[in-house]
Every structure is written in C-alpha cells, then in structure tokens.
Amino acid sequence: MARKVYSLCFMCTVRCPIEVEVEGARVLWIQGNPHVGGIEGSLCPKGVAGIALMEDDQRLKYPLIRTGPRGSGEFRKASWDEALDYVSGRLKEIIERYGGQSVVLGERANLATHVSKTFLRAIGSPNYFSHDALCKGSVNTACRSLFGYTDAEIGIDYANTKHLILYGRNLFEAVEVKGVNNVLDAMAKGAKLTYIDPRVTTTALKAHRYWMIRPGTDLALNYGLMHVILKEGLYDQEFVERWVLGLKELRELVEPYTPQWAEEETGIPQKEIVDLARELGEQRPNVIFHYGYRGAHYKNEIYLRRSILMLNVLMGSVETKGGIFFKKGPGEVGRKAPRKLTDQEGLPKVSQVRFDKVGTEAFPLPDPNHGVPQMLARAILSEDPYPIKALIVNRFEPLHSIPEQSTTKEALGKLDLIVTVDVNFSDIAWYSDVVLPESMYLERLDPVQQANGLKPQLFLRQKAVEPRYDTREYAVIIKELAKRLGLERYFPYESMEELVKWQLEGTGFTMEDFMKKGFVAYTDNQIFWDRKDGLRLKTPSKKIEFKSSLLEERGFSSFPPYEKVKRPERDTFRLVVGRCVLHTHVSTQNNPYLNERLSENILWINGKRAKELGIQNGSLVEISSSVGSGTIKAFVTDLIHPDCVFLLHGFGHESKGLGRAYNKGISDAMLQENITDMVGGSPGLHETFVKISPLRRQL
C-alpha cells in the first residue's frame, strides 16, 4: 500500500515542502505539499528529478579512501569505521601539530549548519564558512547597514504586490516555487512586472516592461530613479521622515544624476525612467524593488544592493502588504524556537582571527557567521594569518563555486587532508583524500527547519525511504568524528530522531505533530509591526540608516559618487553568468533525467558583434580570460546586450565519477578572476572580461 510522507525537497537550497508517495522501498511520485499556501502541489523540474537522483547508480554509495595521487580518481572502498578512524586520526595529528585553526570546514549553509559550527568550536577552530558570501554576501551586508538585520531576516510579500521590479532576478528560471506562484497570482490580480537584465530571459518575456540594461550600470539607473523620486516628491514622506536617517545626504548625492545622465550610462531611455518613477509613486507602498537573490555581480555590489533597498524605503514599502517585511520568529508569540547545538552552554568560544580575516580591520564588514570563501586559496597559499592544513567540505564545490579555479586547485594541492561529504561524485570529491557519502534527502531525517516569516513555522525533512546504499546523515557522521576525537559531549544524540527530539524540547511540538501536514505553525495570523512606531530596527540609531554607522565607523562612505563602468574593447566582452530552470548550480548536471534535458552549456553572444568577429551560430569559439581558457559552442542572438556574453554556470566537470556530465561544456569558475567587493563581501562574478575568437579548426 502506498503511503504519503511530508518532507522537504533538496534538489536545490530553496527546500520546497513536498509530499512523497512511497510504496515499500520505492518512491512513486513527488509533488509539492498541497497543505502549504503558494506551493499547493507544484514542483519545479529539478524537484521532479529527485527520484532520478535516488535511483542514480553513479551517486556516492559508500565511503572511499584515496589510494592514487590526488585527482587521479583512484580510491578504495572503505567501511564507515575505517573511513572515520582515518579522518579522525589525521585530524588529531594536524590539530596537535598546527592547532585547531588549521582546520577549515566549508559548506553550503543547510539545516545541519549548527552541527558543523559546533564541531569546529569543539576542536578550537574559528574557520567555518558557508556559501553565503559567494551568493549574496553584499546583500547581507547592505541589509545590516540599513536595518541591522541580515537579508535572511527579511522577506518579500510577492502575493499582494502591485508592482515588482527585478534587477536580473530571473525568478521564472532561477526559481523558488512559492515565489513564482505568488508572483503569478499577483499578476493575475493586475500587478505589474518590470524586469531589467542585459539578457532576454524567460522572466523578461513575462514582464510588462523590460529594459536591456548595459551590464554593470544598475546603480546609475537607481541614482536616476532616486533623482526623479526625490525631485518630484513621489516618495512616502511620512514613513521616510519617521524612520530614515540621511535623506538630506541622499538628496545631495543624487542631485547631479538626472534621467538623461542615467540614459547615457545605462542605455535606458530617460522618459521610461521617469515614467517608472511616476507609476510607482501612484502604486506605493505595495511595490517591491527586489534586492536580489544572487547579489554577486560587481565590485560595487554593496552600493547597488543598498540603493535597491533604499528605493523600497522611499516607497514606504517596508513592513507592509505587498512590500518587504521583517521576519517574525517564535519569540514574537512568546514561544521557544527549536534548540541548536550551538546554543549549548559550555561549548568553547573561539576568538582567533579567521582565515579570511573577516571581522578584522582588513575585512571588517562581511558576516562572520558565514565568512568569505573566495579568500580560502589566498590564505592557504600565503599561510597568512597561519598555515591551513585540512579542509572538510560538505555540500559545497570549491572548484566551481569559487572564481579562479586554477588557483583553488593550486591551494588544494598544498593541504594535508581534504575530506568531502557529498551525494554525488563531484569534482571536489574526486580531488579528496576521503569521501563520505551522505544519504540523499529522500532517505534521511534532517534537523528541524525554523521558517521565520509573517507567520513563524517549523518544517521537517522526514525520511521517505531507507538509504539505498551504505550512506549516512551528515549530523551522525559529524557526531561519529567527534566521538573519535573525544568531543562527543557536545553532540547529545546517537541518531537523527534523538537530535530532532532534543531540538524540539521546549517548543511545545513533537515529531508526531509534523506527520499530518509536514509543518507546524506557531500562529495562524500574519504579524506586521506598526509602521508608525513599532519597527524594531537593530541599527545603533534605531532608524533606517541611509547614513550608515556600520559603514562610516569602518571608514567606508554611505553615499559614494558613481564610477562609470569599464566598457569592453574590440574582441572582448564582459562575462556574465547565471542559472537555468533545469539545473541547480553545479549539482545536477549528472542527474540522469536533467542531463538528458540539458547536458552542456553554450555561450550567448550578440548577433552584431558575432558577425564582426566572424562567428556563426552553433560554431565553436575560443574564450579566454587572464586566468583560463576553453572552447565552447556559440549561441548567436540579439537577445543579449552587445557588451557581454552569457555562460550558464555549473558545467565543465572534471570528475570521471560523473559519467554523464564529465567534460561537457565549460566552467565559469575556470574563467572568472577572483575579484571581491571588499566592503560587502561578495565576489564580482561579472567583473571578468573575456576575449572571444572563432576556433579556426572546427572540431
């Protein structure tokens, strides 16, 4: 008899709630959880491909220990005891000789992040990092500079908006299912969509207004918009007067940036800029300037993201329906959140300088809870601030997710120990000394997800089927390592059930409560703070700081004048990258189902420029930057701005363990220079210029 299990998708990080139909050891069907508003059965194509991942015989099946040279792919199968004894033995030696700080653990932040952080604190290392800075570090810093809250503590009420403005937030391809459904619902009720991107994406096709902006000039557009909004008094004066610190300074800053000036820089007609400002003046406060999901485009990223957030504030679209809001947690209704291992009293605090120097004068502003991974290779190679000897990687791919792959490879070569926890035979797994396979998401129970929002809720990734191979849950793997290092006192569980029960103590919920619908809610009502007097801002002034103490106390300007962007010359282009609806970053290219749909990337290039260079649609071209080069098929099209070429992220895998994705397409990380927004923390993934030429000998 088939049964239904409520769980959370993990084909990407969005974690959409799902309903899994199971019969015996087989998953028959996965769909979105019908009980969750905005999901109601829907799933994206990658979510559907979860079954293909489960059944993939090329995924990691058992622990591996390397036998040949690094990168040779020569491993032997090991038992869990053998693999864990080996890793803990090597870690012990390294910690004794070089200290706990010589161990770095990096991961894509996930439900077990508190387990990773606990492990590092227990061994005396400050060196935890997540993917956050690579994805949106500067958005995080921008939010903290204005509101005192991180971006993770701020949400967007798409469903009730009257106008959504997206700056390269390609929502209909780089999806979150709930977001997409809510935007479609809002549009059905008459909401407008404005989309800005140098490339015509699916989202552009759905928009009422599309602007093919010159890449890198969004800040100029925003200064032009602000100029009109302030000059014509289109903003929410009551809200701004009550909450904003620094309006006068903003006014002075944008005074010279007329719409005409913005047109020259961005290529967007001035009349259209003025029209948008006036339209929003009518629709406010239920308008959203989307501050970005991936905010890692340019080296002035922090100021672009701040400007987008400031536009929301000017429109008064903060803590209002159809605008942006501050997420509410269980504390809001006098209840307790699930416990985290990091809450434990007695867990050591580590105060040493981090490998990336975040929190020091050299790099004061990025969020130390996440760190800055693109500094890893530099730190390993320079041994500054100290030698790093071991890297533990969980659900993260440093070879593709950090720019300048050649330098990352060089740095990895210097390490004494590389351990990877993954579900796929990723390139970093291929390069590791020990590979520890995690059970894929349908096969495991994970720590509790605390979903703060207008209504605080908890979700659970419940196990749908037993693991097919000799794999384990990450939190159990870490507990076993800690045990071998004599640190088990910080890990008060033997199994995932025990950990989840421990987390739920004091919340008023039990595991059984999740069986019925897959989630539990602390309240049924949406909570909005009073916009007149009740915004609990966490900035020092308790205001929305256009004039930011966070920035200015560290010597950074709150209102920098605009710097013109560099334009490409003759045969060079700005390299811009992004996602598509069929793949998740670098994870799914080997998925049997998704690989069949899309198995390699191609290079979008503007028709006129391609003609000048003698490049035909479908022909091979050489692409090279200062740090790497490769060969790729050209997609000649007028749907992209002439200044840039576009490459889908996630291809060019080198692991032969990925039988279907091996050597297909090229990696953007191989071409990108490692350039960072040193204020906000994100890499400038679109700051690299590449040279394109036709490949003379077509293969």
> Which parts of this chain interact with ligand MGD (CB under 6 A)?
10, 12-13, 108, 131, 134-135, 167-170, 174-175, 196-199, 201, 213, 215-216, 218, 293-294, 297, 394-397, 401, 403, 421-424, 426, 438, 440-441, 474, 576-579, 581, 583-587, 646, 649, 668-669, 672, 685-686
Q: Which residue is nearest to ligand SF4 (CB)?
A: 47
Give min distance, CB of 129 to Mo ion, in A: 14
- Give whole-number Cα distances, 274 to 251, 268, 308, 342, in Å: 17, 11, 17, 50
Q: In this structure, are residues 310 and 146 in contact, taking their beta carbons and an 8 Å threshold?
A: yes
In the complex with ligand MGD, the residue whose CB is nearer, 285 or 665, is: 665
Q: What are phi and psi of 498, to 5 degrees?
A: -65, -40
The partner in contact with residue 254, picked from ligand SF4, ligand MGD, Mo ion, none with C-beta cut-offs of 5 to 8 angstroms by kind, is none
Nearest to 151 by CA among 341, 400, 300, 366: 366
Q: Are 402 and 134 in contact (CB under 8 A)?
A: yes
Calpha distance 699→688 (Å, rounded):
27
Q: Based on CB atoms, which residue is closest to ligand MGD, 10 or 559?
A: 10
Q: To the nearest whole angstrom, how small is the minimum distance from the Cβ of residue 584 to ligand SF4?
A: 6
The CB-of-456 to ligand MGD minimum distance in angstroms stands at 23
Q: 280 near 234, Cβ under 8 Å? A: yes
For residue 108, the minimal CB distance to ligand MGD (Å) is 3
What secondary structure does DSSP assign to 51-110, as a single string?
Answer: HHHHH-TTS--S-EEE-SSTTS--EEE--HHHHHHHHHHHHHHHHHHH-GGGEEEEE---
Q: What's the closest the beta carbon of residue 650 comes to Mo ion, in angstroms?
A: 12
From the list ligand MGD, Mo ion, ligand SF4, none, pick the one residue 389 interacts with, judged by a Cβ distance below 5 to 8 Å according to partner type: none
Nearer to Mo ion, 169 or 294 (CB): 294
Tell me how far, at minimum, the Cβ of 498 lies from ligand SF4, in Å. 27
- Sign, Cα dihedral of 589, 592, 598, 601: positive
Q: Which residues contact 258 (CB under 8 A, 6 or more apart)?
A: 224, 227, 270
Tokens found for residue 238: 């009551």
β-pair type (324-326, 192-196): unpaired
- Between 387 and 578, name the residue whose CB sits nearer to ligand MGD: 578
With respect to ligand SF4, which residue has the nearer C-beta, 19 or 236? 19
- Cβ-based neighbours of 347, under 8 Å, separated by 6 or more: 118, 121, 122, 341, 490
CA pair distance 80, 401, nearest whole angstrom: 28
Token representation of residue 162:
């009257």
User: With CB cut-offs between 5 and 8 Å by kind, which of ligand SF4, ligand MGD, Mo ion, none does residue 177 bind?
Assistant: ligand SF4
Write out the residues near ligand SF4 by the rule CB under 6 A: 9, 11-12, 14-16, 43-44, 46-47, 175-177
Binding mask 86-125 for Mo ion (x = CB under 5 A): ----------------------------------------
135 binds Mo ion (CB under 5 A): yes
For Mo ion, the closer of residues 294 and 479 by Cβ is 294
Measure Cα distances from 230 to 142, 282, 489 in Å: 21, 14, 58
Binder of residue 120, out of ligand SF4, ligand MGD, Mo ion, none (CB less than 5 to 8 A by kind) = none
Question: Residues 290 to 309: which contact Mo ion by CB under 5 A?
Answer: 294
Task: Report in angstroms how near the CB of residue 425 gets to ligand MGD at its nearest.
Answer: 8
Q: Strand 689-694 and strand 572-578: pairing?
A: antiparallel
Cα distances from 26 to residues 147, 470, 525, in angstroms, run 48, 17, 38
β-pair partners for 436: 421
Least spacing, CB of residue 334 vs ligand MGD, in Å: 34
Least separation, in Å, of the C-beta of 169 and ligand MGD?
4
Cα(499)–Cα(375) distance, integer angstroms = 33
CB of 122 or CB of 647, closer to ligand MGD: 647
User: CB neighbours (10 Å) of residue 25?
Assistant: 9
**In this complex, which beta carbon is closest to ligand SF4, that of residue 339 or of residue 461?**
461
Smallest separation (angstroms) from ligand MGD to the CB of 398: 7
- Smallest gap from Cβ 256 to ligand SF4, in A, equals 42
- Look at residues 152, 304, 330 and name the one whose alpha carbon lies nearest to residue 223: 304
Q: Which does 9 bind (CB under 5 to 8 A by kind): ligand SF4, Mo ion, ligand MGD, none?
A: ligand SF4
Q: Which of 364, 365, 389 is nearest to 376 (CA)?
A: 389
HSE-CB for 122 with a 13 A CA cutoff:
26
Residue number, 47 or 467, with CB nearest to ligand SF4: 47
Using the minimum distance from each CB to Mo ion, give the nearer residue, 224 or 680: 680
578 binds, among ligand SF4, Mo ion, ligand MGD, none (CB under 5 to 8 A by kind): ligand MGD
Residue 692 Cβ vs ligand SF4, minimum distance, rounded to whole Å: 32
Q: Which residue number, 46 or 389, has a Cβ lying nearer to ligand SF4?
A: 46
**352 phi and psi, to 5 degrees?**
-65, 160
Give which of ligand MGD, ligand SF4, Mo ion, none residue 47 binds (C-beta under 5 to 8 Å, depending on kind): ligand SF4
Q: Which phi and psi (to 5°) does residue 646 adopt? A: -120, 135
The binder of 576, among Mo ion, ligand SF4, ligand MGD, none, by C-beta within 5 to 8 A per type, is: ligand MGD
Residue 447 is classified by DSSP as: P
426 binds, among ligand MGD, Mo ion, ligand SF4, none (CB under 5 to 8 A by kind): ligand MGD
**Partner interacting with residue 354 (select from ligand SF4, ligand MGD, Mo ion, none; CB below 5-8 Å by kind):** none
Residue 44 or 207 having the CB closest to ligand SF4? 44
User: Which distant-in-sequence residues (6+ apart) come within 8 Å of 488 by Cβ?
Assistant: 479, 482
Q: Which is nearer to ligand MGD, 38 or 168 (CB)?
A: 168
Minimum Å distance from CB 175 to ligand SF4? Answer: 5
Q: Is the CB of 17 or the CB of 285 nearer to ligand SF4?
A: 17
Residue 530 CB neighbours (<10 A): 8
Q: If contact means CB under 5 to 8 A according to the sort of partner, which of ligand MGD, ligand SF4, Mo ion, none does residue 15 touch?
A: ligand SF4
Which residue's CB is nearer to Mo ion, number 47 or number 642? Answer: 47
Phi–psi pair at 194, nearest 5 degrees:
-115, 130
DSSP 8-state class, residue 652: -
Q: Pick what 43 binds: ligand SF4, ligand MGD, Mo ion, none; C-beta below 5 to 8 Å, kind-dependent.
A: ligand SF4
Nearest residue to the partner ligand MGD, using Cβ: 168
∠ CA 418-422-428, nearest 5°, is 45
Three-state DSSP class for residue 228: helix
Judged by the rule CB under 5 A, the positions of this chain that interact with Mo ion are 135, 294
